[in-house]
Structure 1
Amino acid sequence: MEKSHIKRLVHKGKEYSYYALDSISMEEKVDIHSLPYTIRILLESLLRKEDGVDVTKNHITELFHYQAASPKGEIPFKPSRVILQDFTGVPVVVDLASMRDAVVKAGGNPELINPEIPVDLVIDHSVQVDFFGTEDALEKNIALEFERNNERYEFLKWAENSFENYRAVPPATGIIHQVNIEFLSDVIINKDGLLYPDSMFGTDSHTTMINGIGVLGWGVGGIEAEAAMLGEASYFPVPEVIGVRLAGQLPKVATATDLALKVTQLLRQENVVGKFVEFFGPGLSSLTLADRATVSNMAPEYGATCGYFPIDGETLHYMRLTNRSEEHVELTEAYTKANYLFYDAERFPSYSKVLELDLSTVVPSISGPKRPQDLIELTDAKAEFQASLIREVGVRGFGLEEAELDKTATVKYVEGDEQIQTGHIAIAAITSCTNTSNPYVLLAAGLLAKNAVEKGLAVSKTVKTSLAPGSKVVTGYLKKSGLQTYLDALGFNLVGYGCTTCIGNSGDLRPEVAEVIKEEDLLVSAVLSGNRNFEGRINPLVKANFLASPPLVVAYAIAGNMNVDLTRDPLGYDEKQQAVYLADIMPSREEVDDYIERYVTRDLYKEEYQQVFTDSQAWNAIETKTDKNYNWNSSSTYIQNPPYFDNMQADLSIKPLENLSVLAKFGDSVTTDHISPAGNIARLSPAARYLEENGIVYKDFNSYGSRRGNHEVMMRGTFANIRIKNELADGKIGGWTRVGDEILPIYDAAMRYKEAGVGNIVIAGKDYGMGSSRDWAAKGSSLLGVKAVLAESFERIHRSNLVMMGVLPLQFLEGQSAESLGLTGHESYTIDLPEDVGVGQIVTVHAQTDDVTKEFQALVRFDAEADIRYYRHGGILPMVVRKKLGGKV
């Protein structure tokens, strides 16, 4: 980069340098204030990373002339750092270890494969809620976690010792995104006197939470993260930036959770998939940083790449609260103001579109029963739940018969039987990075619990309750305030620090309750303060799942059933048999604010984070080797060397895809959970069969997420979600398909096709691959022999992951679908893919049956030139290995 773009900043007698946006704005005659803040951050990155190869002068010029109404071009982005969680992090490290082997096999130096930017791995996804409702639940769950995952943790410890620029935050510390926002992020990086914005990729879709503190970041698949770690640019089209103008302030009865659910509904309706969202306007100043983080966290649910809040005075206040040094906070302010990155309330950028949201219109709400965007105002919750029971089966209905609506079942206990009914709340969980980073909603939950206990209310033991905070800071202020005692009294004991219920780590239901649910085929519910409630995700026995704020989770737990109107019906009765309503126990905003002022302190953050990397005795006790290449154990069922670099070919030509059989045909909203589940491994599944053949008994199966380092398990788990609906399976729910006249597991069908030398195609509807940034959804598809996915639309991350695994994403033209074209899934498909295929090219597809051939056009979803390069190499991982070896295969 030209030195003319570097400026000096003198702050408190020290001299710093930075790449100045105004240095090029004068050259290009562009008003910086007209550019969205996220575009400014991307521009600074391009200025700093310009090398004439990956990042060129043309990239910079194009972006400086950003056309909000119709953005053009592509951005080669190199983030400042990468963050991993262990479910997605283990396969990333497995791939890096495998790449080292591939390099050595080709005669290269294994240390060619090392992260070139800082990488943090936060181990937070492996805790399961086996023990709950007791004082020793945390201790027992941690012990079980280390016992179950010892082999994986040894591997991650090896990586910490073997790779440069890599460190691990031990288990039982906190949730990745809360640790990131409270501790890991510097907001502005000072590298040897050069100042620049923190920016990041994360291998978890809710990485977007970091945008609440003014750091640009989003979730990517593990394979894209690996490429970024190894110095590769990530290419994506210049995005539209949607501005959300906030006015007013939240009513006293509403919480940040209610706001996040409202924003999710608003932006899903607007269709912001693949777009950036920025929040601005007079209402911005009324939101605390914790409130902003809650809204940013749910960007994947509203479909945006990110939901960004610019750096302002509230950002600096939060940095001080969370124990960032005063010197760094002041330097952050000085730099961001000098480089036009500090929020200017008087001058608003030009956005692709502006949406209005009056914060005063937000009301207490929940969302469900199967999708986060399906908002229900609390006043309508009972009526909507009743309507969902009889509504036809779909994203908002269960199709129950009239006789099932009031079905009652008896749960037997020694001390007396209890009755549960349709809608019974089987799980009530205060969980997830979305809310447990927000002191307001957690203290509100604690105060509501206090008021409830003092009124003599209780939670039935048929409800599985849990509290899994995002960091130990939460435990600190709940204990110091005395509110944890009341949460404990209602069964919300601490069960672990990590990602639990909303990723399917809720553990088994109470056995006596589970037995009754199965025997009576009873429809039961879960209420959680999470961000995901997709069907089959929370627990296989729980069909209706609702997202709610932590205080409403506690309230619903007390009520015990979704068929209750919390705004009108009593939650229970006090000792004098007087009805107790939600309004009687809901704390006031003033009361919660007082508790925040008294108990959420800078000293608390300092105390909990000062030894974060060394505080875990169990982690420190793990012994591991320091070899540069990992010593693979062929009998391991957790860690195996994947086959991505086997048979790398010199021929990089692109050819038509011929005679593909349909492996599966799906409808709309197929999530990455459907494609590659993270939760329990079903007893009769292909993955279970593999584990049993390798001597693993059922109690030691663990979860799919914990076994992502073993491709043998994960390819068998692809399309194995027990709730997935393949239209080829004659109505059989789960991971089944048809081959000829036979219905068999999708994995078995894929292996049969592979043995016959036949490639596969998957056909789907809208929003294919929505949900988590789960690279195994693409990896598993590739390993099953899927050559293309033909869908009406794709979620951003999964489309990218498919390309980076060498799978062709193909999209029906606008207004067309499998149904409109009369495609049944019983055809054989040929895709006329030319050698010189371009970005966004239209190609011809032939769908042939025994007696007829249909031809139609489809859009190749190569969204950037880089996509074509990845596909040509058979994926980004082989491309990186070839590049590290100087082009030698």
Structure 2
Amino acid sequence: MRDALAAFGDSPSKINPLVPVDLVIDHSVQVDVSRSPEALERNQAIEFERNYERFAFLKWGATAFDNMLIVPPGSGIVHQVNLEYLARVVFQKDGLLYPDSVVGTDSHTTMIDGLGITGWGVGGIEAEAVMLGNPISMVLPEVIGFKLVGQLSPGATATDLVLTCTTMLRKRVVVGKFVEFYGPGCASLSLADRATIANMSPEYGATMGYFPVDEQSLKYLHQTGRSAEKIRLIEAYLKAQGLFRLYDESQPDPIYSGEEMLLDLSTVVPSLAGPKRPHDHVPLSDVKQDFLKCLSNPVGFKGFGLSETQRTKTSSLEYKGETYTLRNGSVVIASITSCTNTSNPSVMLAAALLAKKAVDRGLRVRPYIKTSLSPGSGVVIHYLEASGLLSAFEKLGFYNAGYGCMTCIGNSGDLDEEVASAINSEDLVVAAVLSGNRNFEGRVHPLTRANYLASPPLCVAYALAGSIEFDFQTEPLGQDREGKDVYLSDIFPSQEELQHYETSYVLPSLFEDCYRNIQGGNARWNQLPITGADIYEWDEKSTYIHKPPFFLSMKREVPLVKSIENAYCLLNLGDSITTDHISPAGKIARGSPAANFLLNSNVLVKDFNTYGARRGNDEIMARGTFANIRLINKLSSKPGPYTLHIPSMVESPIFDAAEKYTTAGIPLIILAGREYGSGSSRDWAAKGPQLLGVKAVIAQSFERIHRSNLVGMGILPLEFLNEESADTLGLNGQEQFTITLTSELGVGDILEIVVSNGKTFFVKSRLDTEVEVEYYRHGGILHYVLRLLSNQPRTV
């Protein structure tokens, strides 16, 4: 943007944050090394080696821009760092007090709603505009009241609760709505429990999952080392404003604009979610039978479509001198990961105590299972060490692998070659169990087709069991040294034990020590060179940082709105297409367009890194768009990143087909079903399609953040009317489409689409506000902001 403004003859320094910006680097570290005391150090060293250029670029930004705080790699996950340290709750500036609020470039920014702070995720495109002083625009949302009563039963955790809530709320369709939790049950939930529930707002579809500030909030602020003076100020201000919640029946229940829901916490049972979506809730007691059904069910969200012969296949694994048998359901990854759960001392201590009791009884984890522990902040390791529980984790292979998102975002690293070969030899449906928040197909690891979300103690339990096809009620985890069967119930910690450990070891001093030098505590970061130039000096040979093309042809004048004429369909997709399908963050597969580009740029296969690490290079990200190996495109005869180039009727990689259309000057659209763009707030899921030449997406419904990102990149989101879809309209995606647009384009217009087969149908424009219409007219939100900042804006 600074380059573009300079090209207009304007001062590049106008591109500068006008609001406080905190940037936490947490997405780049991978589980390259696990089950080793050297895992943390080696993974951090590899992270810096791989990402040197990216980190140097970010450090340039720290000096080139004002009002920006950068938290270096190895410090933790942004949402946990925000919760434990950065969040103010109440701002004090120029003699004025006002409530804290935040927008973040990750969908799980909502975690802070658990602390009573208004916050949600936006795409990076919209965030840049906010940094430059642009307001957030939105349709006034309905507020859903979710009443909680009772208390969690012994053995049930906050993870079980959030997976239950996620399923309940997904069924109610709360996309674009606020959810506020209230009722006497809230008083029994710790702040960390609430943060877990708020964190998964994107998974249940809501813009926010909000808990008002109350006594538990103040208790947490004290626990995390905030000053007594600051806590008193927060309490006094919020009480004076009527924003402080009491659960003593002195306040009436709020009145909500939307529907109200009810959950008795005592009905929550230990649970998992999977095997392919976070809202597919399965009680722990049903997991074994549910998985067996999934194996034979037709291919879908709850099915793998295996024949009877395929279901009984096994594969022999020779590993470190021992022979093991892999079969469908074998656990090959068990990861305690993600801010969703590692921010919660109760579930982390439960996992550690379970591990200790397992070790004491002589139980072990099979050595081929890739176990890892990746806490969201250093505080976790501090209290685990202080309590003497960290060693129990390590004895089961759960060594600290790094402070970052890691397995939760697909940075799970490679499986050992012997394990990968055994899986591939029989095409087994093996499993990953993780304490993350997403388990979409192809996200966790390309070889784990069944992926289950679970609490940290259940991650340990499944690592011990070694298989998803396991009934904890009737099957022992193993035998102790006396040959006695050991069941999960024998080693699961009690509430009294958990309370003792949390009270004794999760102390304010740990948080104060951990965050005292958060900005300068990374030696590798401190050694990075600093340049003071206002405009970044691009290196054309770099495969990490490349000057993007988004502003290259931009003119000062606002372009005319033009119809989209005779567009071909690039992809014809079904329901629940996630941003992981659209723009994967994981490994770059050999033989893919992105891999070929890197090879042609003299990058070795071992240095490919991930799509997530290559987001600074548009050439790679365009080639990685729709590069998910599990993508189902109705225009392709096989799953994966392929499509039909309709003029030639030749199937090819999606990028190659898009290039042919672009060369011929043919615009493109995408057809899709419900919940298009669910999942991460990944702005490349909009940038990538724009680079491929996509002008519009026609879907049955959109997830909130992705719809906004499409508008932000100048792609028109259109919604089928009256429960119609491509299928009900008899469209196979091989037609051409003309979408009539005029200069009168407005909010929520009903638009006509003429199809080359003679059919006509109507759609609703999902430009939801006047400012979004303006963004679209300008070709995207950043073009709008640039013209606004330019000295000579004019319209033709």
Aligned to 2:604: 697
| Counterpart check, 1:854 vs 2:762 | no
Aligned to 2:173: 271
Deviation track 1:786-825 (CA, whole Å, cap 9, x = no partner) reads 0000001000000000011000001100210001000010
Aligned to 2:276: 370
Q: 1:361 aligns with which of 248, 258, 267?
A: 267
Deviates more, 1:417-426 or 1:230-239: 417-426
Aligned to 1:810: 718
Amino acid across the alignment from 2:252? R
TM-fit CA distance, 1:417? 1.1
8 Å contact 1:246–1:284 — kept in the other structure? Answer: yes
Aligned to 1:79: none
Amino acid across the alignment from 1:870? Y
Q: For residues 157 and 175 of structure 2, what CA distance do their matches in structure 1 show? A: 25
Amino acid across the alignment from 1:272? V
Deviation track 1:383-413 (CA, whole Å, cap 9, x = no partner) reads 1011111000000110111112232211113
Q: Describe how 1:484-499 pairs up with structure 2 within 5 A.
A: 484-499=390-405
Q: 1:731 aligns with which of 635, 638, 646?
A: 638
Aligned to 2:650: 742
Q: 1:875 aligns with which of 760, 763, 780?
A: 780
**TM-score, normalization by structure 2:** 0.98
Q: For residues 870 and 741 of structure 1, what CA distance do their matches in structure 2 show? A: 36
| Counterpart check, 1:501 vs 2:403 | no
Aligned to 1:347: 252
Q: 1:795 aligns with which of 700, 703, 709?
A: 703
TM-fit CA distance, 1:641? 1.1
Aligned to 2:514: 608
Amino acid across the alignment from 2:73? P
Amino acid across the alignment from 1:616? N
| Counterpart check, 1:139 vs 2:41 | yes
Q: Describe how 1:48-67 pairs up with structure 2 within 5 A.
A: none
TM-fit CA distance, 1:422? 1.2
Q: For residues 884 and 200 of structure 1, what CA distance do their matches in structure 2 show? A: 24
Q: For residues 136 and 267 of structure 1, what CA distance do their matches in structure 2 show? A: 42
Structure 1 residue runs of 4 or more that deviate by more than 4 Å after TM superposition: none
Deviation track 1:124-148 (CA, whole Å, cap 9, x = no partner) reads 1100001010111101001000000
Q: Describe how 1:177-216 pairs up with structure 2 within 5 A.
A: 177-216=79-118
SS in 2 for 1:318: helix
Q: For residues 567 and 525 of structure 2, what CA distance do their matches in structure 1 show? A: 48
Q: Describe how 1:128-167 pairs up with structure 2 within 5 A.
A: 128-167=30-69
Deviation track 1:228-259 (CA, whole Å, cap 9, x = no partner) reads 00000111000000010110011111000000
| Counterpart check, 1:168 vs 2:70 | yes
TM-fit CA distance, 1:191? 1.0
Between the two proteins, the alignment pairs up a number of residues equal to 788
TM-fit CA distance, 1:456? 0.7
TM-fit CA distance, 1:645? 1.1
8 Å contact 2:115–2:212 — kept in the other structure? Answer: yes
Q: For residues 753 and 493 of structure 2, what CA distance do their matches in structure 1 show? A: 61
Deviation track 1:47-88 (CA, whole Å, cap 9, x = no partner) reads xxxxxxxxxxxxxxxxxxxxxxxxxxxxxxxxxxxxxxxxxx
8 Å contact 2:627–2:640 — kept in the other structure? Answer: no
Q: CA RMSD in A?
A: 1.0
Q: Structure 1's 469 and 651: CA in aligned 2 closer, same or farther, altered over 3 A?
A: closer
Aligned to 2:588: 681
Q: For residues 623 and 432 of structure 1, what CA distance do their matches in structure 2 show? A: 31
5+ long unaligned stretches in structure 1 = 1-98
Deviation track 1:643-693 (CA, whole Å, cap 9, x = no partner) reads 111222424321211110111100000000000000100111111111111
8 Å contact 1:453–1:486 — kept in the other structure? Answer: yes
| Counterpart check, 1:410 vs 2:312 | no
8 Å contact 1:842–1:858 — kept in the other structure? Answer: yes
Q: For residues 143 and 502 of structure 1, what CA distance do their matches in structure 2 show? A: 20
5+ long unaligned stretches in structure 2 = none
Aligned to 1:65: none
Q: Describe how 1:303-702 pairs up with structure 2 within 5 A.
A: 303-345=205-247, 346-351=251-256, 352-649=258-555, 650-702=557-609
8 Å contact 2:315–2:425 — kept in the other structure? Answer: no
SS in 2 for 1:853: coil
Q: For residues 252 and 840 of structure 1, what CA distance do their matches in structure 2 show? A: 49
Aligned to 1:126: 28
TM-fit CA distance, 1:415? 2.5
Deviation track 1:177-228 (CA, whole Å, cap 9, x = no partner) reads 1001000011111112211111011000100000011111001000000000
Deviation track 1:26-61 (CA, whole Å, cap 9, x = no partner) reads xxxxxxxxxxxxxxxxxxxxxxxxxxxxxxxxxxxx
Q: For residues 488 and 407 of structure 1, what CA distance do their matches in structure 2 show? A: 33
Amino acid across the alignment from 2:453? L
TM-fit CA distance, 1:105? 1.1
8 Å contact 2:641–2:654 — kept in the other structure? Answer: no
Aligned to 2:750: 842
**TM-score, normalization by structure 1:** 0.88
Q: Describe how 1:744-823 pairs up with structure 2 within 5 A.
A: 744-823=652-731
SS in 2 for 1:277: strand
Amino acid across the alignment from 1:151? E
Aligned to 1:884: 789
TM-fit CA distance, 1:344? 4.2
Q: For residues 734 and 646 of structure 1, what CA distance do their matches in structure 2 show? A: 28
Q: For residues 818 and 326 of structure 1, what CA distance do their matches in structure 2 show? A: 59
Amino acid across the alignment from 2:326? I
Amino acid across the alignment from 2:94? D
SS in 2 for 1:234: coil
| Counterpart check, 1:108 vs 2:16 | no
Q: For residues 853 and 344 of structure 1, what CA distance do their matches in structure 2 show? A: 62
8 Å contact 1:378–1:567 — kept in the other structure? Answer: no
SS in 2 for 1:664: strand
SS in 2 for 1:279: strand
Identical counterparts, % of pairs: 55
Amino acid across the alignment from 2:767? F
Q: For residues 532 and 413 of structure 1, what CA distance do their matches in structure 2 show? A: 30
Q: For residues 387 and 590 of structure 2, what CA distance do their matches in structure 1 show? A: 44
Aligned to 2:134: 232
Amino acid across the alignment from 1:634? E
Q: For residues 469 and 310 of structure 2, what CA distance do their matches in structure 1 show? A: 13
TM-fit CA distance, 1:419? 1.4
| Counterpart check, 1:222 vs 2:124 | yes
Q: For residues 516 and 782 of structure 2, what CA distance do their matches in structure 1 show? A: 37
8 Å contact 1:760–1:788 — kept in the other structure? Answer: yes
TM-fit CA distance, 1:494? 0.4
Q: For residues 288 and 823 of structure 1, what CA distance do their matches in structure 2 show? A: 51
TM-fit CA distance, 1:414? 4.7
Amino acid across the alignment from 2:583? S
8 Å contact 2:540–2:546 — kept in the other structure? Answer: yes
Q: For residues 430 and 189 of structure 2, what CA distance do their matches in structure 1 show? A: 35
Deviation track 1:396-445 (CA, whole Å, cap 9, x = no partner) reads 11011111223221111352211121110010000001000000000000
SS in 1 for 2:322: coil
Deviation track 1:603-626 (CA, whole Å, cap 9, x = no partner) reads 110110011001111110111201
Amino acid across the alignment from 2:104? G
8 Å contact 1:173–1:472 — kept in the other structure? Answer: yes
TM-fit CA distance, 1:734? 3.0
| Counterpart check, 1:284 vs 2:186 | yes
Q: For residues 503 and 523 of structure 1, what CA distance do their matches in structure 2 show? A: 20
